[in-house]
Structure 1
């Protein structure tokens, strides 16, 4: 059985993949169409999720802030203007890097302190930051569903319960 932290991250990957598979079935212009929402397009929403997956992976790997902050514009640019397929490839890459980090972390509940120059210091646990990454993705996948509905298209269920059902069926 997967450790809970690993399972939550696998859910995050599953939900993103499910949404990408759905987007691949829609007209190409849906991904970049401008809408009035949290972000101006589905593609920019995914760019934001990608950026923060990369950022928090670096935080969890205990990369110093002075090494992380200069990479933010690079990660932002990596996701700009991508097709659905290209964005899915970026997500697959970060998912493998994240899985590797999880494999190299024997205690997912290990204590850690995160220091941010603006927000201060946070005493937390590795697993709580992974939970944040998953929650962040869930929130923005909801934004994507709203954006698709604005454009006249249905979303696709990505709730955790559907992941559990899908996992049970595939193991069944």
Structure 2
């Protein structure tokens, strides 16, 4: 598993886990408290990022726009009732699905073609879409950190360099 895209996805999972660890330090009711920010609540930000991760896995798997829209209706409804523990479990399950998908590719990059009614046809690769998933997650982990600070809590440090330091220490053991 030496493909760069799997390392980027591993970073995304690592960073999400760090955010969940930080969110567990906050009273659950504060995660649902409405504040003036990019999202109404922290859990809304968590749910948005999860939905987008689901969408892009399905794009990579070759599902059509209409198939994904149908799937997302159910995901969106389910998210409305989820608490932090539910989200953490859903993220882990989704990470396992990504891993299974990467395994099915033999951890090799593949072309992906998708069509969107507004944006048209996109020819890309799994690695480019994984980079997007990670970048999107990074952006919203930053939103979550800002929201936590508004509520008087510190955010999780999720810089890629800290991931590299941690992985290096793990490999040295």
Q: Which bin holds the TM-score, normalised by the shorter protein?
A: over 0.9
**Which position in structure 2 is the counterpart of 1:152?**
152
1:143 and 2:143 matched: yes
Alignment TM-score, normalising by the size of structure 2: 0.94
- The aligned runs of 1:76-87 (5 Å cut-off) are 76-87=76-87
Query: Take 1:107 and 1:87, find their aligned partners in 2: how far apart are those partners?
Result: 27
Question: Structure 2 stretches of 5 or more lacking a match?
Answer: none
The structure, 1 or 2, with the larger RCO (C-alpha pairs under 8 Å, 6+ apart) is: 2
Query: Take 1:60 and 1:101, find their aligned partners in 2: how far apart are those partners?
Result: 9
Q: 2:145, 2:155 within 8 Å by CA — same for their partners in 1?
A: yes
Runs of 4+ in 1 over 6 A off after TM superposition: none
Question: Structure 1 stretches of 5 or more lacking a match?
Answer: none
- The aligned runs of 1:87-98 (5 Å cut-off) are 87-98=87-98
User: What RMSD over aligned residues (CA atoms) do the two structures have, in Å?
Assistant: 1.3
**Which position in structure 1 is the counterpart of 2:37?**
37
Query: Take 1:98 and 1:107, find their aligned partners in 2: how far apart are those partners?
Result: 11
> What's the CA shift for 1:107?
5.9
Match of 1:40, SS? Answer: coil
Query: Take 1:84 and 1:101, find their aligned partners in 2: how far apart are those partners?
Result: 26
Alignment TM-score, normalising by the size of structure 1: 0.95
